[in-house]
Amino acid sequence: AQKITQTQPGMFVQEKEAVTLDCTYDTSDQSYGLFWYKQPSSGEMIFLIYQGSYDEQNATEGRYSLNFQKARKSANLVISASQLGDSAMYFCAMRETYNNAGNMLTFGGGTRLMVKP
Amino acid sequence: DTGVSQNPRHKITKRGQNVTFRCDPISEHNRLYWYRQTLGQGPEFLTYFQNEAQLEKSRLLSDRFSAERPKGSFSTLEIQRTEQGDSAMYLCASSLMGTLGNTIYFGEGSWLTVV
């Protein structure tokens, strides 16, 4: 089974509107972390936001927020007030604790977001 | 405060040649990772170092691949006898143990094309 699933290969959003990018995960760990990264065409993976499995509040970073629903094992990224510069690939990733002393990340397949002017 | 730096950014090589990529992590980050990303996919873990010790290698890392981090600072990833299937972007990343979420920060990647 896929550990990280991003079901939306591509998404369009109108500039200045909000958009939600879906991410579901699969783990039997109790302690884990969830991350979102942005990858523009230049290739760099830019860290956006982090949510720990024990965090009771949803993480927020500026225009980014993470809608964390632990029971449903989902960690959707919400981008408010979309800007043209938000057009990029977005990856959801998970860091499990069990047998992962090195803190490695497992990534989903990504969602391409395109912001329309 | 510089980020993770990788070079070269792009490399085109003929099949059978050796290539080497260099990564300079964020200063004082004690963990360094290599990932590989093929077109349309998310990055896949290859190997990681804690200081100068290589502590884990993925099964994706065939014996043609070797990574080093001799002084616990920069790292090199060498691919010997390159094959067309090695064409991908090689991403380096670093992190500092004990920080929030042990967040991993990535570089801009090194694109490899094997012809």
ω into B8 cis (within 30 of 0): yes
The answer to whether A85 faces chain B, any CB pair under 8 Å, is no
Rounded Cα distance, A34 and B13, in Å: 36
pLDDT of residue A99: 64
pLDDT band at A103 (very low <50, low <70, confident <90, very high): confident
**Looking at the DSSP assignment, which residues form a beta bridge with residue A88?**
A113
- By C-alpha distance, the chain B residue nearest A103 is B102
B24-41 pLDDT, tens digit per residue, is 999 989 999 999 999 889
Rounded Cα distance, A92 and A73, in Å: 13
pLDDT of residue A8: 95
pLDDT band at A114 (very low <50, low <70, confident <90, very high): very high
Q: How many CB atoms lie within 10 A of CB B22?
A: 14
A67-82 pLDDT, tens digit per residue, is 999 999 999 999 999 9
Rounded Cα distance, B111 and B115, in Å: 13
- Grouping H, G, I as helix, E, B as strand and the rest as coil, residue B48 is strand
pLDDT of residue A11: 94
pLDDT of residue B47: 93
| CB within 8 Å: B42 and A108 | yes
- By C-alpha distance, the chain A residue nearest B4 is A44
A14-54 pLDDT, tens digit per residue, is 999 999 999 999 998 888 999 999 999 988 899 999 999 99
| CB within 8 Å: B41 and A42 | no
Handedness of CA B32, A92, A113, A8 (dihedral sign): positive
pLDDT band at B101 (very low <50, low <70, confident <90, very high): low
Distance of CA B107 to CAs A63, A69, B54, Å? 23, 30, 19
Rounded Cα distance, B27 and B3, in Å: 8
Span B57-61, average pLDDT = 85
3-state secondary structure chain A: CCCEECCCCEEEEECCCCEEECCEECCCCCCEEEEEEEECCCCCCEEEEEEECCCCCCCEECCEEEEEECCCCEEEEEECCCCHHHCEEEEEEEEECCCCCCCCCEECCCEEEEEEC
Span B29-55, average pLDDT = 92
Contacts of B33 in chain A (CB under 8 A): 102, 104
The answer to whether A46 faces chain B, any CB pair under 8 Å, is yes
The answer to whether the CB of A78 falls within 8 A of the CB of A101 is no
Interface test with A, best of B5, B58, B103 (most A CBs within 10 A): B103
What is the percent of chain A with per-residue pLDDT over 90, rounded to a whole number? 79
